[in-house]
Amino acid sequence: MRKNNFLFAASIIAMAYAPFVNAAKAIDLSQQSAAILQTFAAPAVTSLATKNLPQLKQTSTEVDQNQTAHIRVQEMFAGYPVWGADAVVHVPHATHMTTLKNLPVKNANTTMNGIIYQDLAADLASAPNYIFTSAQADKALQQAAQLFQEKSGNKHAMRDAHTELMIFVDQKNKAHWAFRVSATVQSSDEAMPIKPTYILDAVSFEVYDQWNEVLSLERVLGGGYGGNFNTGRLSYDGLKNNMPKLNMFRLNKACFLQNDTVTVRNAMKRNLVIQFSCQTPVVVHDNEYWDESIEAVAGAYSPANDALYVGKIVSEMYQNWYGAPVLVLKGKPMMLNMRVHALDEEGKVMENAYWDGKQMSFGDGGKEMYPLVSLGIAAHEISHGYTQQHSGLTGNDKSQPAGLNESFSDMAAQAAEYYASGKNNWQIGPEVFKVKGQALRYMDQPTKDCVPGAPKNECSIDNVKDYTAKLDAHYSCGVFNKAFYLLSTSKDWTTKKAFDVMVLANKAYWTKTSTFQQAACGVMSATKALHYDAAATKAALNGVGLDC
C-alpha cells in the first residue's frame, strides 16, 4: 500500500504534538479496563490536527458459541498502521452488531488482550516529507531485494512485491516511520517459493526485522499409487483395505510431497521437492488431492509416494515408542530428506540405497530389484543416521563395529514392519526383489543367503565364532540379526521389546568401536536398565556364541 497524498503530514504532526517529548509507551491491554479505549475514540469534531491522533480501527468481529464477541482492532497513526499494535476485545453477551463505538466500556466482564501504544508523536514528528512518496517506497523495495540477494546468493527476481508505510516501535520503545517490504521469489534451487519480508527504516533503510513469510501454505491430505510389480499396486487414499492417506503441503494449487517431518526430492532434478498440480480434491479417492502415479519408473508405480509414506512411519515409530525424533539437527527434529531416482558415483542408475550423513537416497533398481523404496529399506537407512548420532559405530567395512551398525539398521527394519503391521517376515528387502521369495538378508536364518559355490566371505554368519576380518559388514551383521530374532521371539517378548533394548544400548552403552562381545554386554546392561527379562537376553546372545 502506498500513500502519495501525505506530503504535508510531518508538519501537521509537529504542530499538533509540539508539547510532547516522551517516547512511545506500550500499554498491555490485558491489564487495563475497556475504558482506556475511549482514549483512542475518534473526536466528535475533526480538524487537520485531530486526523493524526492515534486511533483504533476495527478489523473484524466474531461471535463464539457462548455469545461472546471478539472484536479485533488495529492501532493507526495518521492513517498508517502501527506494527504489533493489534488487540482483541472480548465482550460477553454481544452480537455481530457490537462495535467499538457502542462498546459497553463500563462492563466489568469485558476483557482485552494485545498491545497498543501511546505518545507516538514525539518520535514521529520530524519525519522528512519524501518518505511519503512512491519514489521512497521504490527505493525501499530495491534495498530489500539487494539485501536478500547478498544474504542468500539467490539472484532470482522478486515478484508480487508489496511495500507499505507504517510505524515500527523498537525494543527501546522508540517509534520510527518504516516500510514493510515483501515479495515472492521462485528459485530453481527451491521447489517451494519463498517470501522474504523486511521491515526497513523509512529514511535510512536500517533493517529492524526480517523473515520468510509464506502465508498460503496449507496442510492437506493427498495420495496416489505406490508399490511395484512384486507387491502389487497400492492406493494411498485411506479407503477400506488401502493404504493411509499422505500428509503434504499445498501452495498456489500445487501439492508438494513434503510435510512437517518428511520431504521427498528428485535426485535427477537438482533435488527439487516433488510436486504435482492439485486444483481440487478427487471424490472417488475420498476427497483427497490425487497424484495418480507421479514419478512412476522401472516397475514401481510411484517411489515418491512410497518414500513419503515410509518416512512418516519410521519417524512416527521412533517418536511414539521413544518420545524423541529419530534424527536431530542442532537440537531440533531433523527433516527426513528422501531422495528418489538417485544415481551412483558414475551417474548410472543405482540398484542400492544409502544414508550419506544428511539424507537418504534410493536408486531405481536394475536387473534384480525394483526401486528400493520400501518400509524396511527406509527404516534401515534412516537408522544409520540414528546410530551416527548416538553410539557413532564406525570402522572399516569389515570391522565388527561396522557389522553391528548394519545389524542395528536391520533390526530397525523389522521394528518398523512390526510397528506398521504387528507382524514380521524376518527378511530384509523382499518387497523390492523381482524374484519372489528372494531377499537381501534373512534374520531368522542368516546363512540362507549363501548360494551354492559362493566363497565363505560372501555368506552371512549367525555365530561369532565364524567371524573373520575378511567378512563384509553386510554379512557379519548376521550375528546380531540372529540374536535379535531369538530375543524378539522369546516367551513374553515382542519385536518392540527387543528393539527397546537395542535402541537403549545404541544410545547409552555402545561406543564407536564396540566389538560384538562389548556390544553384548551393552545389550545386557540395557535389558537390566529396562527391567526386562535378563535371562531371555542372555539366552539369545548365547545362541550366537556371545556371553557377557
C-beta separation of 386 from 405 below 8 A: no
- 0.85 surpassed by pTM: no
Known catalytic residues? 381, 474
Q: Give the model's pLDDT for residue 105.
A: 62
Cα 372 to its chain centre, rounded Å, is 24
Q: Take residue 526 and report the three cell numbers written for it.
A: 540395557
The residues pairing with 199 across neighbouring beta strands, listed in sequence order, are 180, 209
**DSSP assignment string, 209-252:** EEEE--TT-EEEEEE-EEEETTTEEEEBS--TTSBPPEEEEEET
Element (H, E) at 536: helix 534-542
Q: Give the model's pLDDT for residue 282.
A: 93
DSSP classification of residue 328? E
**DSSP assignment string, 40-74:** GSPPSS--TTGGGS-EEEEEEEEE-TTS-EEEEEE
Q: Give the model's pLDDT for residue 269.
A: 87
Number of C-alpha atoms within 13 angstroms, CB side, residue 531?
Answer: 0
For residue 211, is it left (φ>0), alpha (ψ between -120 and 50) or beta? Answer: beta
Instruction: For residue 441, give the 3-state DSSP assignment.
Output: strand
When computed from its CA atoms, the radius of gyration of the chain, rounded to whole angstroms, is 32
**Residue 276: which residues within 8 A CB-CB, separation 6 or more?**
254, 255, 291, 294
DSSP classification of residue 343? B
The Cα–Cα gap between 181 and 213 comes to 11
C-beta separation of 387 from 409 below 8 A: yes
Q: Give the model's pLDDT for residue 18.
A: 39
Q: Give the model's pLDDT for residue 154.
A: 62
Quick: pLDDT tens for 99-154.
Answer: 877 776 666 788 889 899 988 988 998 889 999 999 999 999 999 988 888 876 66
Element (H, E) at 75: strand 69-77
C-beta separation of 514 from 401 below 8 A: yes
DSSP classification of residue 335? P
Instruction: For residue 327, give the 3-state DSSP assignment.
Output: coil
Residue numbers in the chain where pLDDT is lower than 50:
1-22, 42-51, 188-190
Q: Give the model's pLDDT for residue 15.
A: 36
Q: Give the model's pLDDT for residue 36.
A: 83
Instruction: For residue 31, give the 3-state DSSP assignment.
Output: helix
Q: Is 228 exposed, middle or buried (0-12, 13-18, 19+ CB in 10 A)?
A: buried
Pick the closest to residue 460 from 509, 512, 403 (CA basis): 403
The residues pairing with 243 across neighbouring beta strands, listed in sequence order, are 236
Helix, strand, coil % in the chain, rounded to nearest 5: 30, 25, 40
The residues pairing with 362 across neighbouring beta strands, listed in sequence order, are 340, 353
Q: Take residue 147 and report the three cell numbers written for it.
A: 539485501
Q: Give the model's pLDDT for residue 184.
A: 79
